[in-house]
Every structure is written in structure tokens, then in C-alpha cells.
Amino acid sequence: MGMAEPRFKDHPFSVDIDRLARSSDHRVLALWVAECAERVLPLFEKEYPEDERPRLAIVKLKEWVSTGEFHMAEVRRTSLNAHAAARLAPEGSAARFAARSCGQAMATTHVPTHSIAAAWYAAKAIWAEGGDASDIRKEREWQLVRLTNISASP
């Protein structure tokens, strides 16, 4: 019998992140999750430098934050395109999780709780890149502190 694949084990900070995200302003969540996804986007781009779909999701998310303009067809298309890019990458790879983080980040414009999944995918990207429990803890701690700081900004 072969050895099982290692499984992602999230840090307990995820409980605090989830709680804070559920009580945060929609635009705050969008700003925060754009940063979360951008931190891991290079993991996708180094493998697929010609594929701009995940980056475009972050660009469009930031446009929504600054303008407030919301077009469901564009949100849906941009998010789904980032997820389509993710499917190019191998199952369980850092590149796949990074692109998923971008797709979920864009979906945050429609449903704020997608931000929780985007941050989770970012942590999974770091893990899939060879990160250990300490790296996951550092990323989740950064996410929690960053969300706390953005939430506290006027």
C-alpha cells in the first residue's frame, strides 16, 4: 500500500480570519483579498507567464473597489477565467491554488464571503510550493493582521 499524499492542515488563525471577514465591510474584504491573492500570484505566473487571466481578476477587483461599478457578467467571466487558468496547472500545485485564489478574490465583488476562500487558497498555494506548518502559520497570521489593519483604517 502506497503512502497517502500529504494533506493541507490549516492553522487555527483561520477561525479568527473567518469571524473577522464575516463582520467586515465589503470593500475592505476586496482590498484585503486582492493583497492575499497578489502575494501568491507569482507562483502561477512563473509557470504560465503568458496567461494573464488570474492577474486580470485582481485588476478588475481593484477597479471595482475604486469605482464601485459592478457588472455581473464581467465579474462572472473574469472570475471563471481565472478558475479556467487554474485548471491548466497540475492538481494540487501552487500554480493552481494561486489562480484559484485570484478567481475567488474576483468573486468577492459579488459575494463577500468568497474572500475567505481566496485567502485559504493563498495559504494552500504557499503549502503546495513546499511550505510547512510554520509557513502556513506565517501566511495566515499575515492575513489576519492585514485584515485587522485594513478594517481599522478610516
Mean local confidence (pLDDT), 20-34: 96
Please report, for the chain, how many H helices and E strands are present, in that order: 7, 0
pLDDT, position 153: 80
pLDDT, position 5: 64
Closest by Cα among 27, 39, 65, 62 to 153? 27
pLDDT, position 88: 96
Q: Are 142 and 152 in contact (CB under 8 A)?
A: no
pLDDT, position 3: 55
pLDDT, position 32: 98
What angle, 0 to 180 degrees and rounded to 10, lies between the N-to-C axes of helices 26-45 and 133-152?
140
The C-alpha cell that represents 78 in the structure block: 473574469
Mean pLDDT of the chain: 94
- Non-local (6+) Cβ contacts of 120 within 8 A are 10, 14
**pLDDT over threshold 80, residue 137:** yes
Phi, psi of 11 (to 5 degrees): -85, 150
Q: Are 54 and 82 in contact (CB under 8 A)?
A: yes
What angle, 0 to 180 degrees and rounded to 10, lies between the N-to-C axes of helices 13-22 and 114-128?
150
pLDDT per position as a tens digit, 38-84 = 999 999 999 999 999 999 999 999 999 999 998 999 999 999 999 99
pLDDT, position 4: 59
Report how far apart the first and last C-alpha atoms of the chain are (Å, whole number).
57
The Cα–Cα gap between 31 and 115 comes to 10
Instruction: Label residue 7 by pLDDT band (50, 70, 90).
Output: confident
Mean local confidence (pLDDT), 110-134: 96
pLDDT, position 70: 85
DSSP-based helix, strand, coil % in the chain, nearest 5: 70, 0, 30
